[in-house]
């Protein structure tokens, strides 16, 4: 019998995603070579493209983990194609995270894939599904900072390194924020299966506002300072200096 887990078309990579990857690759090349008169615009397009790619992989990780945990409806919804247009809330999943990056240099993914939780048995599986997304950001951050912690900087153009440093900052900030136990974020999804029914019932009305609440808090100078001190501490541990990430941020804001 053909199901959502066996149809090849449900897993075929979307041309939309391939297009985003292509734009990222071309602008990454332009950033590396200094092609054109406006390298800063190339940095903006490269980092934005790579950020959207990471958002797609973040949601794919949720979906793929849910599929293997028992939700066979995932494939039919298009979540395995890496197509951001197939997400439940394309505005929250792609547009707002990009706006957050442009406004404040903060990596804050939004909710996207709808998982039929009643198909999944076992609290550990529910927790793992929620954790899969931000763990993807962790892996992305490690990949972006590889030239730094491997001490393989020889021959790498400084502008490209600065772009990678800023992209790594976005990934680290996304991982930290998403692991916060705030309703609406993945961190809450990790602990939710272990809460009592009464506690979950009381918290549920606040879930739609969790993302905006966190973003609003980050505009409080004292909280913002503590948060970015933590982000930079992680980056420093991965070999990226505050100055390199700051240069990347300055290049990104070409306007």
Coil, strand or helix: which one is 138?
helix
Positive or negative CA dihedral for 195, 89, 43, 80? positive
Catalytic, 59? Answer yes
Contact 187, 180 (CB under 8 A): yes
In whole angstroms, give the CA distance from residue 119 to residue 98: 32
- Which among 37, 59, 116, 192 is annotated as catalytic? 59
Q: How many Å apart are CA 160 and CA 150, to the nearest integer?
A: 16
Cα(first)–Cα(last) distance of the chain, in Å?
A: 55
How many CB atoms are closer than 10 A to CB 195?
14
Residue 81 vs residues 18, 26, 86, 212, 221: alpha-carbon distances, Å: 10, 22, 8, 28, 40
Q: Which residues are catalytic?
A: 59
């Amino acid at each position: 019998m053909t199901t959502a887990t066996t149809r090849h078309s449900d897993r075929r990579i979307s041309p939309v995603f391939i297009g985003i990857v292509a734009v990222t690759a071309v602008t990454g090349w332009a950033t590396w070579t200094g092609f054109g008169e406006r390298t800063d615009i190339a940095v903006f397009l490269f980092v934005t493209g790579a950020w959207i790619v990471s958002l797609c992989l973040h949601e794919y990780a949720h979906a793929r983990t849910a599929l293997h945990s028992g939700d066979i409806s995932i494939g039919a919804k298009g979540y395995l194609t890496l197509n951001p247009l197939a997400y439940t809330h394309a505005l929250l999943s792609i547009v707002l995270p990009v706006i957050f990056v442009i406004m404040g240099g903060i990596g804050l993914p939004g909710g996207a894939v709808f998982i039929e939780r009643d198909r999944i048995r076992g609290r550990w599986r529910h927790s793992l599904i929620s954790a899969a997304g931000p763990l993807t950001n962790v892996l992305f951050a490690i990949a972006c900072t590889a030239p730094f912690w491997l001490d393989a900087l020889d021959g790498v153009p400084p502008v490209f390194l600065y772009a990678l440093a800023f992209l790594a900052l976005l990934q680290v900030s996304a991982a930290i924020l998403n692991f916060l136990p705030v309703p609406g974020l993945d961190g809450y999804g990790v602990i939710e299966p272990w809460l009592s029914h009464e506690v979950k019932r009381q918290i549920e009305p606040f879930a739609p506002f969790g993302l905006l609440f966190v973003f609003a808090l980050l505009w409080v100078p004292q909280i913002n300072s503590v948060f970015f001190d933590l982000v930079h501490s992680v980056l420093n541990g991965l070999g990226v200096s505050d100055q390199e990430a700051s240069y990347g941020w300055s290049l990104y804001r070409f306007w």
